[in-house]
Each structure stands twice: as structure tokens, then as C-alpha cells.
Amino acid sequence: MSEILAEQSTIDPEEMRDAARRLLADRVNRRAPYAEPPRDESETLFAAMSEQGWALLTAPEETGGLGQSFAALAPIYEEMGKVMSPVALFPSLASLELLTLESASPAARALAEKVACGDAQVAVAIVRPDTLSVEGECLNGMLLALPADIGSDHLLLLVDGAEAAAWLIEFSAPGVLITRPEMWDRSRPVIDIKLEDVDAIRALSEEISAAIERVRGHLELALTWDSLGGARQSLDETVAYMMSRQQFGRPIGSFQALKHRAADHKLSIDVATALAREATDAFAKGAQDAAVRASQARLLADESYHAMAEDAVQLHGGIGFTWEHDCHLFLKRALLNEMLYDSPEARRDRLAPTLFKRMRR
Amino acid sequence: MGEAALMSQNEQLDNFRATVREWMVQNVPRDWRARQAGDNIEEFIASQREWLSRLVAAGYATPHWPEGWPGGGRSLAEQVALFEEIARVDAPRMSLYFVSLYHAAMTLVECGTPEQQARYLPGILKGDVWVQGFSEPGAGSDLAALKTRAERKGESYIVNGQKVWSTLGQFADYCLLLVRTDPTAKKQAGITFLLMDMKSKGVTVRPIRQVTGDEEFAEIFLDDVEIPVENRVGAENEGWGVAQVTLSSERGLTLVELTERMYRSLWRLIAAAEAPPAGPDVETSRAMVDLIGRIEALRALVGEFMARRIAGQEAIGDASILKLAYARTARAYTEMGLRLQGISGQRFTPYILGAGYETGNWMFDFLNSYQFNIAGGANEIQRNIISERMLMLPREKMA
């Protein structure tokens, strides 16, 4: 475990950022998944993250964790977005929001301890009741494109709605069929899961909805910061290109038609960051509407990443359209980020009643 | 600062806020919006005067003035709290007096002589109206290209030229005037800052009718206007620096107020969206979710900006980010209101002056929101500043 983690009771998020940045700079080659054949470097990266105790950060102290708030994780997620980390980590860490609860089942708490040490990894799904058929504790259904790191061995399946449920499923259980589809984005491993008469374990049997909201808030904020990190990196690299690329005898970055677009991207990233900080703060403090704020932040962050990465290709011109150039790495990750777990439209529809209520006079 | 001192400072701030809130509840004319709807500009001026005198008496018009003036010597944090409270209770804006209380007063306080301060500051408290005479027909975004000429003759300057976009110039008593005293010097170097009595011989004011139909701005024509040298602020040819003080005098408080007003009047949009019989369709409700997020994000951005400013940690370009963010959000906000009203939004209805861009008359607000996108450095100028001073992109070649 690093010195930062051992010495302090409340970890300075910026120190965490520095540590994360160093580790990621050493371990991540963003071209590796796009090499022919692709190189998977995620196992060594995950091992390094575990060694530095990233999974322990937000686990409660009584379960052997470091009891930090989400504020310590946000900069890590942002730095992971900047380098387009091939390890997602956030599904496992989000699962801890539920698995570490005192009211969680013994199986859940046992799994939590393993996750915090890096000995187990969890994929998370939050679905509506009609996605699954449930008889007793026997589940049938199909779940598509869930972010799941290479070593994932458990699914935390959360059913949202009036009859909320939290199921724990081992990948090795009979009837579980896992496939890894090829995606346009190669930086994020995802899985499809087919459940055929699978015996699931209840992870929690009281106050399930509130716990689901904690997990959701974590997922949403992790993606928010990933998108913001990616957007800022894409902006930085695009601006650098606009300085060096000369046409008509001057840097293309001097043309207002182009630099104003860069300014607008910076603006929308800054605006989204302000909301993300507020949402992170709310989530770290355990505010009641934290998950709603997290989803709001994600909408803005994903949108600014999408717009930035899309325009980056255009601002680079021909070179941006090549496989060799990195523009498409950002674009593909941005487009995937936007669609993970649900579509932005579904997210807006989910948020609308709550936000209307909040703003009504 | 020790923890105890910090605590007492926070307590002080909370107490101040609570006092302001109570005062506002009791003193804001309850139905001012309804009563002022359709007021002509003279009636608007009368209600602004009344509101100013109440604020001055309570010490809430000049918290930013030095100690010794009514309510003076308040911290920036307290000033922020004051404007938040003004927005919270939906009090009228201080439109007519904003230039007097902030631009004129802070220029005098920071750059004026003791004689100038003694002569003009008390009048501001009594309702003297000041305007800016900065922009010219040929000097808008490129303000330093201004041509209004001042020639020294004995103990006076003789001024000839034309100014434009002076807020409510037709009601002004005094003018903060930028003139060129050295036409041979490089642009910014030959400019001088003068205080002009609007009753001087040779001053002609002509109101400008805007797209909304009302006349909130004016042109000022200057023909051989004589201004005493004692009315100069700062040294001759050093007026550009003084103008920067003028322009930075409001310290972001306008955006605190306007953002808070927009946020607190989101209910108007919700009400419009939920209007019977249909209620919001899916497209509308999604667009509303986005807009609410943008406004809350803007509010968070303003909060961060003011916190940095209070801590003295403001970065170059911060103000441009904020202004552009507000300007764009204000357009999106008013446009949504207009869209939700359908054809009835196109029906002319009386509007009220002296509010932000949230009067509820959406066509008026929509048209009016151009103001923020153009005045005080158009969006395009803010984008230049952001790209050149924050992203460090090169300047475009000058013609």
C-alpha cells in the first residue's frame, strides 16, 4: 500500500490524483488494445491498482477498508478517463456501496472483503423488472454490454422499481453464459450475460431501493469523471495540434472559426465539471438526492465528451480520420460511455419527474 | 486564520444573510411585477428611485463602498449573499442605478481625487444617474479604437464626438467619458477618462429604440463640450487603466444575481411545460431535463468562481468563461419559455422593465437576452479571450 494511504485519515484527493497519474502513466499504453493483434495489458494494470489499494479506498474501515468518501475516487476516475484506462474498476467499487452494508447478506459481505483486496471483481447491472423473469430465486434473462473487467467473477444484479431486489450471481454458477462481444471501442471490456434457470443469492433484503441508488450514483459519477477526463485530454491534444499544424502560412489555431470551437468545448467541459464537483460533494456527503445529481452530471459530462471527441476528428482534418491517429480512441470511448447501462434518453426520462418536482413552485 | 476566527466569520455571514432576508421580505413591494407590467419608462424610473431610497436607507445599496458610507465595508462574501437574497425574494433589479452605484462609484473610490469623491458620491446615494460613455459607432468590440476627441484649452477639455449604448442615457445626470487626447499614440495609450455633466452645453442625447420596442439605451452626441480639467480621473492619456477599474467594479455580482434569478424562476418553465390539458410531451420533458442541468451547472460554476475570487485565486479568463456560460444559458432558457408558449408567445403582451431575463414574458425575455450576448464584450470576444489566454492559441493576424 502506498504511503499516502497508510498515513492519513482523510486522504487529500489531489495527492490521490498524483499517485494515480504516476501509476497510469507507467502502465497504460492507450494504443495497446488497437494493436494488431490487440495487446491486453489490463491484468498487470489491475494488479498495480490493487497493490496501491484503490479498491480499499472507499470500503468502510470495519471491513478492512480505508473508509474514504467518494471525493478520493473522483480524481482517480478522471485520470483513468484521460488515459482511457483499459481497466474500468468502477463496477467493482460501485458494488461495494451495497455489498458492504451492515444489512447485506453474509455472502455479499464475504464478497465485499474479497473485492476490496482485489481478489474478486464484480459487474453490475441495474434493470427494470420486465428485463428478467424471476421465480423464487431462479432467474432467467439476458443482459447486454455490461462493463466488466477481465477478472470479473460475480454479477450484482439490481432490479429497480416497486419490488426492488438485489441478486448476487457467480459467473461459474450453472446456467450462466458469459460472452465478450467485440465492440468498436476497445478500451472498455464489456460482457453479455445469459441467465438460464440460474440460482441467485439475495445480496440485501431491506432498504434495497436506497442501496440501488447508492450503486447507481457511484456508477454515474465514475462515468462522469471518466468522460470529463477524456474530454479534457482530447481538448488538450486538439489544441496542441491546432498550434503546430500550419496552413496558409500560419497555425490553424489562429483562425477564429476554429479557435472559437475550441473555446466552446472548453466552456462546456468547465460547466459540466462544476456540476460534477457539486454532485460528487453531494454523493460524498450521502445527500438524499445524490444519485439524481450524479445522473444530471453524467448527462452533461457525456455530452461534452461526445461533442469534443467528435469535433476533434474534424479539427484534425484528414489525419484525424486515420487509424494511426488517436482521435478515434477518444471518439469511440465517448460514444460508448454515453450508452452504458442506459441511453441518455432513458436517463432523461428517469430524471424528469424528480427534476420537475424539485423545480415546481 | 484560526478556526475560531473562521467560525465567527461564517456566523457573521449567516447573520447578515438572515437580516437581509427578513428586510427583503418586509420591504420588497409585494406585487411589483404585476403593478409594473406595462409601465412606461417614466413610471419605471419613479419606482426605481423609490426602491433605491429604501435600499440606501437600509445600507443595502452600497455594501461595496468603503466603511463610513451607508452599509459600507461589507466583504465580498457578504455582497454575494446580499445579491442571492435579492434574487431569492425576487426583488426588482437596480437597473437604473447600477452604473452609478458600481461603475461610477468604484472608479471614484479607487481612482478619483478626494475632491471628486466628496463632490459626486453623496449625489449617487440621492439618486444621481450615471452612464458610461465608452462605446462608439466605430468602437464596439474594439473599444480602444475610440475616436471622440478632447483637446486641452486652458483649464478645460473641448470634446467632440459620439458615444453609443449608454444605458438609460436620456435620464442621466453624469457620464463616465472616454476620450482620445493623443491621436498620435498607440491605441490604448492616448485615452483619457473624464467625468461629464450631462447638462453641459453641446451634449445631445437620443434614445435608441431596441428590438423589444423600449428605449433602454441612448446615443450621446458631443459638440464642443467643455469639461473642466479637474473632472479628469487619473492622468492625461492614462484613462485606459481607469476604464479597466470601471469595468471590473461589479466583481461578478451581476452574474450571481442573474444566475440566481434564472434558477429561482425555473418554476415558470415547469408551469408552462405542465400546462393543461396535455402536459409535457417526451421531447419537451427531455429538453427541460437538459436545461435544468445546465442552469444548475451554471449556478455551481458561479459559486466556484466567486469562491475563488473571494480567496483571491481568480485565474485569467475565468470571467470570460462565466459570462459566456451565462449568456448562452440565458438564451437557451428564454428560448425554451418561448417555445413552450406556442402561438400565444407571439401575441404581444405588456412587459416589465427592471427584471432579469425571467419576467415570464418570454418573447420579451428572449429578445432581451441578446443584450447579455452582445454587451460587455460579445460572446465572440469572450471566445477570443478563452482561446488566446486560456488555451494559448495564437492571435488571428490583424488586418
Give the cell for residue B322.
462565466
Q: How far is B85 from chain A (nearest CA, A)?
A: 17
> What does the pLDDT average to over B227-240?
97
Number of Cβ atoms within 10 Å of the Cβ of A310: 16
Asked whether residue A260 is assigned to any structural domain, the reply reads: yes
**Residue A266 and residue A211 in contact, taking contact as beta carbons nearer than 8 Å:** no
Count how many Cα atoms sit within 13 Å of the Cα of residue A54 in the half-sphere of its side chain.
29
Q: Identify all chain A residues contacting B325, using CB atoms and an 8 Å cutoff.
A: 267, 270-271
Closest residue to A260, CB basis, from B271, B328, B380: B380
Q: How far is A26 from chain B (nearest CA, A)?
A: 27
Asked whether residue A242 is assigned to any structural domain, the reply reads: yes
Asked whether residue A240 is assigned to any structural domain, the reply reads: yes
Domain range for A297 is 210-360
Asked whether residue A328 is assigned to any structural domain, the reply reads: yes
Indicate yes or no: CB of B393 within 8 angstroms of CB of A243. Answer: yes
Asked whether residue A217 is assigned to any structural domain, the reply reads: yes
Element (H, E) at B230: none
Indicate yes or no: CB of B271 within 8 angstroms of CB of A360. Answer: yes
**At B15, phi and psi to the nearest 5?**
-65, -45
Which of B260, B267, B296, B306 to substitute to test the interface with A, most A CBs within 10 Å? B296
Q: Which residue has the cell 457525456?
A: A302
Indicate yes or no: CB of B292 within 8 angstroms of CB of A300. Answer: no
> What does the pLDDT average to over A305-309?
98
- B41, pLDDT greater than 90: no
Give the cell for residue A230.
477524456
Q: Which CATH number do you get for residue A308?
A: 1.20.140.10
Asked whether residue A24 is assigned to any structural domain, the reply reads: no
User: To the nearest whole number, what is the mean pLDDT of chain A?
Assistant: 95
How many domains, chain A? Answer: 1
Q: How far is A294 from chain B (nearest CA, A)?
A: 11
* ipTM entry: 0.94
**Residue B94, helix vs strand vs coil:** coil
Task: Identify the pLDDT of residue B31.
Answer: 79
Asked whether residue A351 is assigned to any structural domain, the reply reads: yes
What is the rounded distance in angstroms from the CA atom of residue A89 to the CA atom of residue A222? 9
Of residues A330 and B37, which shows the higher confidence score? Answer: A330
Asked whether residue A56 is assigned to any structural domain, the reply reads: no
Interchain contact B317–A (C-beta under 8 A): no
pLDDT in tens, A164-197: 999 999 999 999 999 999 999 999 999 999 999 9
pLDDT in tens, A328-354: 999 999 999 999 999 999 999 999 999
pLDDT in tens, B88-140: 998 999 889 999 999 999 999 999 999 999 999 999 999 999 999 999 999 99
Task: Identify the pLDDT of residue A1.
Answer: 44
Report the residue of chain B nearest A348, measured CA to CA: B286
Catalytic site residue B151? no
A331-341 core/surface letters (b: 16 or more CB in 10 A; e: else): bbbbbbbbebb
Interchain contact B298–A (C-beta under 8 A): yes
Share of chain A above pLDDT 70, in %: 98
Q: Which of A81, A111, A80, A76 is nearest to A96 (CA)?
A: A111
Indicate yes or no: CB of B393 within 8 angstroms of CB of A254. Answer: yes
Interchain contact A361–B (C-beta under 8 A): yes
Name A357's Cβ contacts closer than 8 Å, sequence gap at least 6.
none
Interchain contact B387–A (C-beta under 8 A): yes
Indicate yes or no: CB of B267 within 8 angstroms of CB of A361. Answer: yes
> What does the pLDDT average to over B9-23?
93
Q: How far is A151 from chain B (nearest CA, A)?
A: 36
Indicate yes or no: CB of B293 within 8 angstroms of CB of A267. Answer: no
